[in-house]
A and B are shown apart, each in its own frame.
Chain A
Amino acid sequence: MSTVETRARGFIMPLAQMSGNIPRLALRLIGLALLDAFAVWFLYLLIRDGVWPLVVIITIVTLGLNIINLREDLFPLRWLSPGLTLLIMMALYPIIFTIYTAFTNYSDGHLLTKLQVIHLLAKEHYLPEGAQTYSWVAYRGSQGDYILWLTSKDGENLLAVQGEPVKAVSPDEDEFGPLDEEGIPVSFEGYRRLTRIDAVKYISELGKIEFGEEPNTIKISSLDAAAQYQQRYVYDDDLDAIIDRAKEIVYSADNVNGAFTSSEGASLLPGYQVPTGLKNFKRLFTSPALRGPFAMVFMWTVAFAFFSVATTFALGLFLALIFDDPQLKGRKIIRSLLIIPYAIPGVIGILIWRGMLNPHLGVVSTTMKDIIGWAPPWLSNAWWSKIAILLVNLWLGYPYMMLITSGALQAIPHDLYEAARVDGATAWQRFWNITLPLLLVSVGPLLIASFTFNFNNFNVIYLFNEGGPPIPATPTPAGHTDILISYTYRLAFAGHRGSDYGYAAAITIVIFLLVSLITIFNFRYTRIWEEISESV
């Protein structure tokens, strides 16, 4: 192939330029080949099991990596490839997969794909009526593996080695060495014959082993007998059904509900994932039993995020204003001490507050009881619990607001204040008419970002009171202080009635849309996007 051709196809740099880089090029190609080999093997496994979303994303990522490593003009992307691969696989894909999940019945009992369920059920065996049974003797190898010597009633012998097909043998063959009086080999090389007592000891281990190959395997059924088992559930492609050969029942695939179901309505467990369209969203918005808690959780989420930003901003700004004076001695130390709540790991800070606000033993409650003879039920009452969470979040969040506002305060030109003072404006007027408007322009975007952050502030809700106290009589568990993200978490991971990933994903999408709306508003309103686009 001539140089010109190579360049025209745009794959590899001209040969003359390439010569110095051959070792590096070779290294890269070898690396790429290894990656491709791995990807192909992984894809084979995924296709076998029908995990289509993952098949698509891995194909795309692998193709992308190949293209940027083969095309010389895309070489800058090679520098980005580790970060981008991780971003696509572990951040973008989960977002897309969450959206996909929202339109499926993905939940406990429907965790696997249809193909995975078929493979799983194929592993079950049964003992057919009139099946041949054998008496057995086992030999144990040094690694805990076994050999079985089987004798049928007619005196035929079979040798079953783990992981190999069962074969008919005759004890007279030389390879078996000396035999005992029943005609059973005394030993095999490297294997020890189990006595009856040993067999009792290992029986539970032995009973789990399937000797031979699918579909006909031999299993030990009791101390005296082993038998040839058969695959119980066989998938029939034409019927799209699973046939239970033990009971002779046909379970047809019900691709609406995601289960193999018999004509009498019995379903095989587990079920499988199927697309269910808008069902999860319909449940969310129309089912009276679910709509109620969802609406309550939604309203509290907005209120919580709003009041969190408002209170932390107010306190942060107040402190920033007070310590804004450069002549104030010890300013630096004061600031350092005031940002301590921000520095303490959030989980620990929240748990400390949970201890301090404990209604019986917490220091805040006991002190209040000593002084005014009463302490609020911080954890068990819906309203007090909400107030408590806002108080905790105020402590966690004010240092951040203090830091950003004191930065912004210094950027406000001083002559503005001078001019206002000259015009006779009071301190109060100066604050409302100069400081606050100018401050909001510069920290406004951060306040909105903080709103989105608190909108999804799982930790403070979950760690302080696990979303409680519970809202009584709801079909899905929900608490008075649950916000959308902690409600989602409950549905997906902490439900006592099983995990419903599909429904949880549907709520996640609602949160996504809200966060996107807020962000678009933020970009529009503050023109951040223009600024960023220009700075690229």
Chain B
Amino acid sequence: MTRQWQLMRDAQTFLEASRLANNALKGIHFVQIARKKGASPNAFHVGKVDDGIKLLERLLTTLEARERDEIVSSEALSILYSIYQGRLVASYPTLKQTISASIEELQKFKRGEVATIEDAEELLEIIAGSTAEEAMKASARVRIFMMEAR
């Protein structure tokens, strides 16, 4: 497989991760806006936060599993790659702590126990942004190749 086609696979993986993180962010922001107005948030948006929780749990599980000979999420490996290409400079122990804290924060947010979730939101924004950027880079290179090929 030529390097351009390999990028198709990468772009798909990054896009899916970005979609999940972005779904969670949309849920969070809709809920925040509703709560600020004193309205009860739409259950659909509250449910979207679960996409973020699942994504972060998969990342955490992969970080732990890969230290043992256990199944890793291939998608999570790509997410870790993309976030370390970008702004994240945390060591693994710090990253694990941040992910765990973010999962807890998101669960509390869902239950309405906290109004703001700075850590989780920032982490999801890093994931959504960096994976979207990697997807964009990958598909831009595929695009150039497709034009040349035709």
Q: Do A and B bind each other?
A: no
Report which A residues bind B (CB closer than 8 A): none
